[in-house]
C-alpha cells in the first residue's frame, strides 16, 4: 500500500465521520421538536456505513504488485428510527393530544452525546493517521538528501 492509498482511506473515514457528526447534531437540535412538516414529532436519524472499494487504478496497481486490497468507508444511507415517540403528560403544551399527552422525539440526549464522542474520537484517529503518514513521507524524503 502506498502513502496515497493511506491518505485516501483516512480521508474517506473523515468524510464518513463528518456526516455522522452532522446527523448527531441534527438529532440533538431536534430533541424537543414535537411538530414536523411530515406530521408528528421528529424521528431520530442514524448513519449506516459500508466499505468502499479503492479506485480502479489503485486496485489495478495492487493486483499487479500482488498486494492485499484496501477499502475505505462511505455512508451507505441515513435511516430514521421508527421506535414510538416518548409520551409525557403536559395538557398545556400546544401540541398536546386531547388526552393531555405530548409525543416527544425518540431521541436520547445521553446516547447522542456518547455517539458524538465516539464520532469525534474516530475523526481524530483518522486525522492522526494522515499526520503520521505525512511525517513518514517527509522522513523518507530526508533520507534521500
Percent of the chain, pLDDT > 90? Answer: 70
Give the per-residue pLDDT at 38: 87
| Total domain count, the chain | 1
Structural domain of 9: 3-143
Residue 41 has pLDDT above 60, yes or no: yes
Residue of 83, 98, 92 lying closest to 41 (CA atoms): 83
Q: Which residue has the cell 448513519?
A: 47
Per residue in 97-107, pLDDT tens? 999 999 999 99
Q: What is the dihedral of CA 57, 61, 62, 64, to 10 degrees?
A: 140
pTM: 0.82
Amino acid at each position: 500500500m502506498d502513502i496515497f492509498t493511506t491518505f485516501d482511506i483516512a480521508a474517506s473515514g473523515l468524510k464518513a465521520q463528518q456526516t455522522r457528526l452532522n446527523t448527531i447534531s441534527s438529532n440533538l437540535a431536534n430533541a424537543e421538536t414535537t411538530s414536523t412538516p411530515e406530521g408528528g414529532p421528529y424521528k431520530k436519524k442514524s448513519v449506516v456505513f459500508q466499505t468502499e472499494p479503492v479506485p480502479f487504478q489503485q486496485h489495478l496497481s495492487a493486483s499487479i504488485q500482488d498486494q492485499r486490497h484496501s477499502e475505505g468507508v462511505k455512508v451507505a444511507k441515513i435511516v430514521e428510527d421508527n421506535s414510538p415517540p416518548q409520551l409525557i403528560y403536559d395538557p398545556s403544551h400546544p401540541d398536546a393530544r386531547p388526552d393531555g399527552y405530548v409525543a416527544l422525539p425518540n431521541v436520547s440526549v445521553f446516547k447522542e452525546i456518547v455517539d458524538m464522542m465516539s464520532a469525534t474520537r474516530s475523526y481524530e484517529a483518522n486525522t492522526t493517521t494522515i499526520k503520521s503518514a505525512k511525517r513518514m513521507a517527509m522522513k523518507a524524503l530526508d533520507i534521500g538528501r
